Structure formats: structure tokens, C-alpha cells
Amino acid sequence: SHLVSTDSNRETFAKTIAKTLTKYGFDGVDLDWEYPNTPGNKGNIISKDNSTNLLKFLTALRASIGSKWLTAAVSVHGFMGPNGEYLKDHKEYATLFDFITIMAYDIYLPVVTPVFGPEAPLFDTCNDPSYKFLVAQAINTWTSTGFPASQILLGIPAYGNQYTLSSSTLDPTNFSGKEKSLFFGPIDKSAQAQTVKNVAPNPTGCDSPLEGGSFIFKDLLTCGFLTPNATTGQGGFERHYDNCTQTPLLFNPTTKTLIAYDDPTSLTEKVKYAKSKGVAGVNVFDASGETPS
């Protein structure tokens, strides 16, 4: 926020980036501001003018780096304006970015949402009507506000999030007028908090290398939760596929542990959808989660 708050700061920041690109021979710069006009991490300085100042900074940065790549990782909602509402027009941003990557993952998070949910639901045919964040919505949000599909990459996850449920059974959830889903049930908030803070042994018996008990996809195989072809659960885990969200999940009834993730089947559906909407491609976060095959 501070780095783009004044003309002087914006010019200094832009020129510093340009010098760095030249010094090391980089092809361009990718911005990851999570997120303009929202609090983010504790202690972050925010301003209602963040999105406006970001646009001014992008103008200065484009002038400094010329034709080098200028990209950004962005939220599923778009940029938030000074009135606290998400912008209805992103056309000016599109003239300055070469492309953006929509971070269409962590839609449901153990530290945020009161229920267990899919990592990256494709559709909303079964979720809580008040929680309309999903892959399809994310693409539509950006394209309907003037950002060309040809400049959009869909971000897809190569990891999953771990929950501790309050029940040892996986009971289908059914919101009024919605399809049934294996997601959206209650979690054990006390046990969940310990896992997220890494203050207790991971109930799976296989410590996660990621913060908060998340697992990169390949570790679901190396930890023995999935068979080598990733189609069947093992080691106490059952693999299920939730058709309405088009995402898989692993569930261990003994430990009440559920891992919501994406796999080749669900990612194929996301890629098909992205292609049908004419986006430029997909961006995997991140490559460390991939398996050799």
C-alpha cells in the first residue's frame, strides 16, 4: 500500500523493478498483492485508494519496463474499490497487464470457513447459497467486468487442505433447492485449530510439509493416502468424488480427518471449462505438487 501511495513512491518502485529486470535478464515481473484494499496479514497498512493507486503504479511500471511481461496473481472477486465494493470495470487494468492468473483455490479454508469445503469447486450446484465463490464465478467476474478472456490464466491447485471433522461419518449435505454434496459439514474447531497452528502431531500420522496441515498432491501418494494411480484411498483413507463440485476428497473415519484436494480427474474438468470460456490457459500452484507421471 505504502509503495504505491504517492507519485514519488510509485516512480521509485517502478524504476527499481525495471533496474532489477535489466540487471538479471528477467523477462518480466509478476505482482502478487493479496489484496488491494483488504487487510491481509496482521499489521498490513491498507487504504481505500489501493486499487486506484495500483492502476497508477501499473501505468508507471509499464512505462519503465516497456514491452517486458507484466502479470499478476489476482483474487476470484476482482479488485476492491474505494467504496468497499468490488470493481465493476477492469478494462484499464487489462490495457496494462499482459495477463493475470486468477487464484481460484483456497475457496474454503480450515482457518476461515466454519465448515469443511472443496479446495476449488467448479460449480455452485450444491454449496451454501450465501457462499458463491467458485471457479466458474471467478472467470465470469473478470470477463464480465471488461478483462479479456484471452489475457486470463486460470489458477489451479496441486495441493489440498486438511480438516478435522466433528463426526466419524461422512453425511451428505443438502441445502434447500440444491444437489446433495459430501462437503459442507461441521468441523471440530478445537482440533482444527491445533492442526492449523502445528502445535499437535498431525492426525494423519504423516506430517505435512506445508503450513496449517495442507498437503501437496504428490505427498498424498508418498504418505500412502492414495494408491499410485490416485484413484483409490488407502492407509485408512477412503477416496470419494463429489460430482456437484467436481472435486475429490479423502476421509479417514477413525481419525475424522478429511483432505479436500484436486487430482487429475477434477483438474481435467477445470481445464475443459476454462477452454470453453476461451481463457489463455491454466497456471498450476505450484509445480512442487506434481508427480513424475
Longest dimension (CA), the chain: 59
Q: How far apart are CA 246 and CA 260, in angstroms?
A: 11
Domain ranges of the chain: 2-157+265-288, 159-261
173 is written with which cell numbers? Answer: 449435505
In the block, cell 476428497 appears at 249
Q: How far apart are CA 113 and CA 124, in angstroms?
A: 16
Output the tens digit of pLDDT for each of the chain's 293 residues. Answer: 999 999 999 999 999 999 999 999 999 999 999 999 987 777 778 899 999 999 999 999 999 999 999 999 999 999 999 999 999 999 999 999 999 999 999 999 887 888 899 999 998 788 777 677 799 999 999 999 999 999 999 999 999 999 999 999 998 888 766 788 999 999 987 766 555 544 345 666 676 656 667 899 999 999 999 999 999 999 999 999 999 899 999 999 999 999 999 999 999 999 999 999 999 999 999 777 666 66
Which amino acid is residue 153, in one-letter code?
L
Nearest to 102 by CA among 55, 140, 139, 58: 139
Q: How far apart are CA 227 and CA 28, in angstroms?
A: 40
Q: Can you give the pTM of this predicted structure?
A: 0.92
Q: Residue 150: helix, strand or coil by DSSP?
A: helix
Q: How far apart are CA 33 and CA 64, in angstroms?
A: 19
Q: Report, in angstroms and rounded to the nearest whole number, the Rg of the chain calculated over CA atoms.
A: 20
Q: What top-level class would CATH report for the domain 2-157+265-288?
A: alpha beta
Calculate ∠ Cα 75-145-41, nearest 5°.
Answer: 20
Phi-psi label, residue 277: left if phi above 0, alpha if psi -120 to 50, beta otherwise: alpha
Can you give the length of the chain in residues? Answer: 293
Q: What is the pLDDT of residue 171?
A: 87
Q: What is the pLDDT of residue 274?
A: 98
Q: What is the pLDDT of residue 140?
A: 97
